[in-house]
Amino acid sequence: MKPLLKPKAMKMKHIYKNLIIILGFLPIALMAQKTEKENLVVGVRYFNNNNKTHHLVFKTKSKVNGKFKNIPDIQLAVYITSDATKANLIGTITTNDVGDAVLLIPPAAKTEWVKSPNQTFVAVSTATKQFDESRGELAITKAKLQIDTVEGKIVNAKLVALIDTVWTAIADVEMQLGVKRLDGVLSVNETPTFTTDSAGGTTAEFKRDSLPGDSKGNLVLVASVLDNEVYGNLTAELSVPWGSKFSHISNFDHRTLFARRGHSPIWLELLAYSIVVAVWGIIIFLILQIRKIKQLGAV
């Protein structure tokens, strides 16, 4: 029996069939590739401010083309202790447009907080179309930073941590001692950082004599431990009358060349208006002369 199609035609038919199958599956394969989600990193940092308030700062980011990119609008559920159950939930928060979020540790968390000298915080992100659920965790040891002064403008700071129910001095921790300035901290002398000794303390001489303080000459001294792996971020503040008295004199709305309308300097107004009056006086005089010429013509 003679075959219906020649071998070459059959071969071509086979190729076409395979091509249709490949093209049919290609979009599905591409879609499958698209649905692969990216990794979200949830960073957690702990802050203890002046031994009074505690807060956590979160950062959500993801690696895009080999570089970390901040991810906004990620909802985070924050738990105290590593047991991320509803009973340990201390709050939910959404990251802002640069992927940051701040959560004050609420008083309701006190029962769990006092149970142990070490504490763990867990942030769990809600899954989105782009990211799976992710988890960030931070373990800290409770610590306190104390700041004091002695006569002769000497600043003392001491770091203690809770170890087995006892507040114990901590040695070899780096900290900064400075003065609070606008949007930053200026070191109390030329040394940028200080390290605690075996008694957990460190001392620095205050050498910023000419600094302007508030209207009474008060400056705010700040001791801070920054991004410590064990204790997190700790700060302690103390107000001291070591600055010069400063009262702000505002030029706003005074008569200046750069002031608003109607507030030009008096000398400028006098000068400008007298020139205008003189020149326009002459013009008016000359226009009156035309009238005079007219009258002479009428006579």
Partner 1 sequence: MENLAKQKIIEDLLPQKFGKQGTIWVIGLLVLCSIGFYAYCRQLYYGLAVTGMRDYASWGIYISNFVFFVAISLVGSLITAVLRLSDVHWSTPLTRIAEIIAVSAITFASLIIIVDMGRPERFYNLFLYGRLQSPIIWDVIVISTYFIISLLLLYFPLLPDLKIMIGFKERNGKWLQKLYVFLGSFWKNTPAQFKITDKAINILAITIIPVAFSIHTVTSWLFATTYRPGWDSTNFGAYFISGAFLVGSGGVLIAMYVFRTHYKLEKYITDMHFDRMGKVVVLLALLYLYFNVNEFLVPAFKMKKSEEHHLLGLFTGEYAPIFWFAISTAMIIPILILIFKKGRKPKAAFVAGILVVVGSWFKRYLIVTPTLLHPFLPMYDVPASYKHYFPTWEEWAIAIGSLAGALLVITFFARIFPIVPIHETIIETESNENETHL
Residues that bind partner 1 (CB under 8 A): 257-261, 264-265, 268-269, 272, 276, 279-280, 282-283, 285-287, 289-290, 292-294, 296-298
What is the per-residue burial (b if ≥16 Cβ within 10 Å, else e) of 18-50?
Answer: eeeeeeeeeeeeeeeeeeeeeebbbebbbbbee
Residue whose CB is less far from partner 1, 249 or 286: 286
Residue whose CB is less far from partner 1, 16 or 280: 280
CB of 297 to partner 1, least distance (A): 3
CB of 181 to partner 1, least distance (A): 26
Residue whose CB is less far from partner 1, 29 or 283: 283
Residues 6+ positions from 214 with CB-CB distance below 8 Å:
243, 245, 246
Residues 6+ positions from 105 with CB-CB distance below 8 Å:
54, 55, 56, 80, 90, 113
Residues 6+ positions from 175 with CB-CB distance below 8 Å:
145, 157, 159, 193, 194, 195, 196, 202, 223, 224, 225, 226
Residue whose CB is less far from partner 1, 127 or 283: 283
**Which pair of tokens denotes residue 282?**
């002459």
Residue whose CB is less far from partner 1, 2 or 292: 292
110: alpha, beta or left? (left if phi > 0; alpha if psi -120 to 50): alpha
Residue whose CB is less far from partner 1, 129 or 260: 260
